[in-house]
């Protein structure tokens, strides 16, 4: 019979109080178990016990994790140790990929609900309109932060700072009107103007000036790099506006 493989062992100290169950501790325990560790869970059940543990270990936070006797640290350190984060880069395309994926699914769902089938042209129109609404919503969560990041590259905002505050409302409003198929005379020109300015600004910053910047497309705390996807967002708006004006 094959010899049994010795299980990997880990110890975790985490807060489990009556009024607070540490979410990072729960996530760390679940992550260790999913990676096949035999977890020795040592809950800290009172504030006094928690404070004493932190003072003894010289740490400010819990959970604290040990693997095979080696101290790892907290949940973020555990993820790094297990190779679940890219420590070499602070940029990611995940937010924009998630947003466009949801927009595509919503457009497909609307087409199915409206027609009982997927109509490619209408679905594409809805996809662009929904994407504009979702992108605008991300910016509207913190217009101040968005406008600050936007000023790094947008040509009009650099000349007229107020444009950075107007942009999220213009994008969202145009998207809603396009989704409804209403007031095309207003929605299409707005999308055409902001999309054209955005496309030119991104192209200049990235492909002419060769600057490495973060894109404000999903809000002011974005880690999405400014580049092809940012250019695509603006080109989609321009294409949608031209299509609506032409039809």
Which one-letter DSSP state was computed for residue 207?
I
With respect to residue 20, please indicate whether it lies within any of the assigned structural domains. yes
Question: How much is the pTM?
Answer: 0.75
User: Could you say which residues of the chain have pLDDT below 70?
Assistant: 1-7, 85-90, 220
Rounded to whole angstroms, the Cα distance separating 208 from 202 reads: 9
Q: Are residues 64 and 169 in the same domain?
A: no
Which pLDDT score, from 0 to 100, does residue 135 have?
A: 92
With respect to residue 3, please indicate whether it lies within any of the assigned structural domains. no
Q: Are residues 200 and 226 in the same domain?
A: yes
Which pLDDT score, from 0 to 100, does residue 233 have?
A: 83
Q: Are residues 67 and 98 in the same domain?
A: no
- For the chain, the average pLDDT equals 88
Cβ–Cβ < 8 Å for 113, 107: no
Which one-letter DSSP state was computed for residue 117?
S
With respect to residue 87, please indicate whether it lies within any of the assigned structural domains. no
Task: Tell how strand 8-15 and strand 37-44 pair up.
Answer: parallel
Q: Are residues 40 and 119 in the same domain?
A: no
Buried b (16+ CB within 10 A) or exposed e, 163-202: bbeebbebbbbbbbbbbeeeeeeebbebbbbbbebbbebb
Which pLDDT score, from 0 to 100, does residue 3 have?
A: 44
Where among 47, 81, 115 does a domain terminate? 81
Q: 162-196 pLDDT, tens per residue?
A: 999 999 999 999 999 999 989 999 999 999 999 99
Q: How many domains in the chain? A: 2
Q: Phi then psi for 92, rounded to 5 degrees?
A: -155, 145
Which pLDDT score, from 0 to 100, does residue 87 have?
A: 46
Q: Are residues 118 and 164 in the same domain?
A: yes
Residues in CB range of 90: below 8 A, 6 or more apart: 223
Whether cis (ω within 30° of 0) applies to the bond prior to 175 is: no
With respect to residue 77, please indicate whether it lies within any of the assigned structural domains. yes
With respect to residue 209, please indicate whether it lies within any of the assigned structural domains. yes
Q: 82-100 pLDDT, tens per residue?
A: 887 654 456 778 888 899 9
Rounded to whole angstroms, the Cα distance separating 185 from 168 reads: 19
Q: Are residues 137 and 217 in the same domain?
A: yes
In which domain, by residue range, is 64 found? 8-81
């Amino acid at each position: 019979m094959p010899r049994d493989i010795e299980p990997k062992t880990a110890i975790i100290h985490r807060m489990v109080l009556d009024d607070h169950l540490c979410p990072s501790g729960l996530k760390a325990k679940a992550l260790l178990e999913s990676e096949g560790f035999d977890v020795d869970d040592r809950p800290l059940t009172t504030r006094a016990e928690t404070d004493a543990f932190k003072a003894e270990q010289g740490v400010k936070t819990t959970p604290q994790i040990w693997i095979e006797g080696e101290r790892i640290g907290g949940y973020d350190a555990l993820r790094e140790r297990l190779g679940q984060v890219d420590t070499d880069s602070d940029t990611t395309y995940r937010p924009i990929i998630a947003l466009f994926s949801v927009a595509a699914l919503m457009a497909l769902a609307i087409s199915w609900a409206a027609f009982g089938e997927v109509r490619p042209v209408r679905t594409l129109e809805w996809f662009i309109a929904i994407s504009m609404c979702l992108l605008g919503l991300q910016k509207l969560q913190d217009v101040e932060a968005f406008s600050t990041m936007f000023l790094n590259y947008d040509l009009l905002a650099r000349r007229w700072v107020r444009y950075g505050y107007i942009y999220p409302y213009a994008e969202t409003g145009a998207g809603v009107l396009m989704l409804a198929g209403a007031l095309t005379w207003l929605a299409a020109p707005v999308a055409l103007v902001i999309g054209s300015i955005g496309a030119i600004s991104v192209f200049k910053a990235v492909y002419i000036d060769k600057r490495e910047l973060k894109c404000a497309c999903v809000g002011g705390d974005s880690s999405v790099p400014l580049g092809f996807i940012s250019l695509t967002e603006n080109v989609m708006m321009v294409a949608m506006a031209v299509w609506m004006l032409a039809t």
